[in-house]
Structure 1
């Protein structure tokens, strides 16, 4: 099987290679250990040597663990505003493409001017330090100075997924008690104009005092136009403490209301920048792009990392396959160095034959994968499309992490679907159910045995829920909820969510193991497997399969796919109880399959929070199949 291997340039000139050389590290493992064993030394060096942050008052101590590992404090005593790091230069910061092909490039200077105006307008209109500012906008250039301006003013941004409906908006505005909302009146996707303002109006809560609207459709909204805010000028900036909150970003759970993860000036942005610098090799003048929405962590992650590293960010509005080759033309047009996408999007592009044309990827130096495990077939598709030159940086962590627990580095070979090391600052391990490290090749739960600046500072106004979610399984151990495995060579593999894990006759089986087999079949575009109760085996796998164009469901194909899983995984262990053919799977906007929703619908239960769902019609599709 193919393995990506570093070339001389990676081993000598990549960011991680140069840092290791300067600091005298002989091996990647030695470097990673340093980042978590001596966090005070490492994070101080990252700040002073690479980021060179502008501190109003220097911190006296990098790390304070006096409240326990659950509540570390970083850069103690420092005063900073993480949005006040913009250079007043003509270098490009934002590169954007609309679905109709229009483009925009905004310099650091232009973004800085607009961010200053937003901050000053907010302050003049009653924003007090710590007030929440919700942002309900699609991926348009204006969203960057809006977010940075709100932070500059001392506000806490609350990014909202641009596809949210009124109830999802209401719940988050109510929970955060947002005082200000910046919104767009419409967005554009697959050639259609989508009314965002009506959803916002229906979801507004009593806490909201001011609404600012980015008017795109040529129809006055009745609210303050964003263009007027940008023209107001001003230069206000709040000198915040390092641990002051900068963002509340919500994640959805199986039950209960969404969790508002709290992040600080010295946390999420710095961890994001470190991951992008060491994993994705982005530095001054380089272009980072991720197929995402600002309501998902990868959106703010891209913004903070790109500008703190003095690079640029490239993003687009609309669907990546509209037209089919859009993504690759976009990469070529904006000279993207590192492109991130979800495994589901990769599988979809593969299924419709959306390969890059010769020359389109000549400037691309890394693919990124996050959101869920990437199957071997999709990994190999990217590998071959990059002609073996472009590494696939598998990257997994979460909103509560501010980036990765696991990643890949370009100074070490990368096996298909693997992570070749723990991410920056994290001591990762895989624990068995007894709380001890699982042997190589044995599935367990991914845990973290260190602290890092990007840790969420708890859930908004619900610290106990944070402790119960991550710290209650084993004392002093962050249990992340991902099912994972480490092989004999020390490479990590994510097998799915721990709560997605299927336990057949006492044996744990990750859904990705079955899905990888199914997705390798020439008729299969993608699949999702769930575990359902069985009176003898405890649980059995049920799989939902989307076929490629030109293939039709049949009993013969169903039996063929079941047999394929038996042959690949063993009849007792990998036998699929049933396969259901569907036209689509329920996904989030960043193409993450919502298996918990499939399982709930299959079992006739309440699927919980559906606000993150991109395609509600998939629910009815699952119901019909069942």
Structure 2
């Protein structure tokens, strides 16, 4: 399979970029013409950022799984689509060719139909990183059901919140999952969540860990039993449901600056075109390459660059069940050598963590198959960039530093491997069709180079968020209300003298912890549920491994007793309500919080204290009780 739209030189990038900005509809119409459509679109684009309303390829009819699977069967049927490396290196790996993957997706699509799932129904997936997760995602898309994957580290309460928001009546899970030396009891967490979600009609359970589970008659069924039923029917075909371009494909929940997670909605056609285009161009993917994205499918990176982007491009995508440090810190490098991986796409947090083990785990690892390295989830610091470049890429593999978000669907700003220039810690240049703008607090555009501002995008790209599920006003308020006629990313950004972009971090109340966005309000809500907590305020602070750590200032009721025990209790509360991913790194007990006379917490002051900057705290005279700041400074952890 060749990619006529793959950019091959910096000169070509500049010319393609200009075309994409001068004639976006002509540009994206040409790209979309390379896919399989049941019916071509009538109009490429209809949009305004006021409502907001964005529609791409209007009137087009298609199914994304025909583009990911069916159209490849003739030429790529016997080529590996998915390589699965299990958590335990002693366990046998699995390889699914495009033909085998197609068969399994059709089979499971029929299982879903047999269990009552119809087009438009929401299906929640809470599974480990097994091939069946990708199969279930694609089976939902095949029959037009809307999938919502929840990361296997979220708590029962977080799952219940998402199930209720999506009104998802169907759940697919595993008995358990392996993660390093831990076993995660997925089905039992689902059972706890479903106490609040009586509307769930069916739970399909895959056997993975053989953990004993409770199976409720009439609600819970085994994946394997349901597959056997389809086999006894003679494995009938399951033709792909014809979908409108703008029909929802999936909902993916992400943290915001308020406590309630929001369901980001992506639709069928624009998302497909954009993830494919950015996959092929960012990584300069060549047919036959092995692409290893280390993310979990529960995050947007896994949706776009493990499943949909690679499979729509006929690529071989590697799915890894384990973690980079188990059974030892050489695991990633073993996987690279074992499968002759060509493209490695991982998070700066993982790189920084592996740097901490020194070069010992790299001994005896060849890594000679690698051609392209990538980073995702957060800006990469220069030290980690150079370590990655020298020790993993051996100085010969371009590093693509990709910047994007759950809401953007695919990479927005990044160098293209070996085609456009790289600069350590810079995302560099926008993808074709993406028009970044820096603005000041008042929304006035900041022009020229060597400037900083808030990062906005002034024109829609095909995989832009369409809405937040069930609450369109929230989508408008969050992304389109801050600055007129622009999508606001929530990130600060610097543009250097050459016009390259460097993301400088969140400018709202959202933390970026290990590449995952966590709303401060969400963590505060969880802390405040602890019986002894009166009030709390959460800020981010620089963390050597995670990028940002979670620092909590907590007013605790009465005498503290054992402070360490109280800290552990609060940490446990946050884990139970959100999940271990949101565990606080530091909890400081304080007598009060710095508040204005109107009752607003001055987070700016808390942020500076957490970062260790005790002197330049700005004017504190307007605070209700300025003395509280000195007390907080004294108790800094």
Provide the TM-score with structure 1 as the length reference. 0.78
Q: Which residue of 2 aligns with 1:368?
A: 374
Per-residue CA shift, 1:310-344, capped at 9, x if unaligned?
A: 00110211211112100011112122221111111
CA distance in 1, matches of 2:470, 2:3: 39
Question: Quick check: 153-162 or 413-422, which moved more?
Answer: 413-422
Against the structure 1 CA distance between its residues 364 and 15, is the aligned structure 2 distance closer, same or farther, given a 3 Å change threshold? farther
**Partner SS state of residue 453, structure 1:** coil
Which residue number corresponds to residue 433 of structure 2?
425
Query: What is the match of residue 23 of structure 2?
Result: 38
Asked if the contact 1:329/1:360 (under 8 Å) is kept, the reply is no
Which blocks of at least 5 consecutive residues in structure 2 are unaligned? 515-538, 557-569, 590-634
- Measured in 2, the distance between the counterparts of 1:617 and 1:39 equals 43
Superposition RMSD in Å: 2.9
Is 2:602 the counterpart of 1:602?
no
**What is the aligned counterpart of 2:389 among 366, 374, 383?**
383
- Corresponding position: 1:100 with 2:82: no
User: Is contact 1:214–1:226 with CA below 8 Å preserved after alignment?
Assistant: yes
Map Cα deviations across residues 28-55 of structure 1 (whole Å, 9 max, x no partner): 233223234322222222233xxx3221
C-alpha deviation, 1:593, in angstroms: 4.9
Question: What is the Cα deviation at residue 374 of structure 1?
Answer: 0.6
Matched, 1:198 2:149: no
Name the residue aligned to 2:206: 214
Q: 1:15 and 1:32, CA in 2 relative to 1: closer, same or farther beyond 3 A?
A: farther
Which residues of 2 match residues 227-376 of structure 1 at below 5 A? 227-231=224-228, 232=230, 233-236=235-238, 237-302=240-305, 303-322=307-326, 323-353=328-358, 356-357=362-363, 360-376=366-382
What's the secondary structure of 2:164's corresponding residue?
A: helix
Corresponding residue of 2:520: none
Deviation at 1:357, TM superposition (A): 4.1
What is the deviation of 1:275?
A: 1.1
Match of 2:55 in 1: 73
Give SS of 1:389's match: coil
After TM superposition, give the deviation of residue 26 of structure 1 in Å: 3.5
Matched, 1:478 2:487: yes
Q: CA deviation at 1:27?
A: 4.5
C-alpha displacement of 1:124: 2.7
Residues 1:438 and 1:321: Cα distance change in structure 2 (over 3 Å):
farther
TM-score, normalised to structure 2, is: 0.77
CA shift for structure 1 position 501:
10
SS at structure 2 position matched to 1:83: helix
| C-alpha distance after superposition, 1:177-211 (max 9, x if no partner) | 11211101111122222211110011021231111
CA distance in structure 1 between the aligned counterparts of 2:547 and 2:189, rounded to whole angstroms: 24
Q: 1:553 matched to which residue of 2? A: none
Distance in 1 of aligned mates of 2:6 and 2:348 = 30
Q: What SS does the corresponding residue of 1:421 show, helix, strand or coil?
A: coil
**C-alpha displacement at 1:17, in angstroms?**
9.0
Q: 1:83-122 residue pairs with structure 2 within 5 A?
A: 83-85=65-67, 86=69, 87-88=72-73, 89-101=77-89, 102=91, 103-122=93-112
Equivalent of 2:471 in 462, 466, 471: 462
Q: Which residue of 1 aligns with 2:517?
A: none
2:574/2:582 contact within 8 Å kept:
no
Give me the whole-angstrom Cα distance separating, in 1, the residues matched to 2:264 and 2:513: 27
Say if 2:84 and 2:95, in contact at 8 Å, map to a contact too: yes
Contact 1:159 1:249 in 2 (8 A): yes
Which aligned pairs between 1:607-626 and structure 2 lie closer than 5 A?
613-615=579-581, 618-619=584-585, 626=637
Cα separation, partners in 2 of 1:53 and 1:361, compared to 1, 3 Å: same
1:180 to 170, 175, 183: 170
Does the aligned pair in 1 maintain the 2:155–2:579 contact within 8 Å? no
> CA offsets per residue over residues 449-477 of structure 1, 9 Å max, x none?
11111011110011111111111122101
Identify if the C-alpha distance between structure 1 residues 622 and 398 changes in structure 2 by more than 3 Å, giving closer, same or farther. farther
Alignment of 1:10-25 (within 5 A): 19=7
Q: Distance in 1 between matches of 2:332 and 2:324?
A: 5
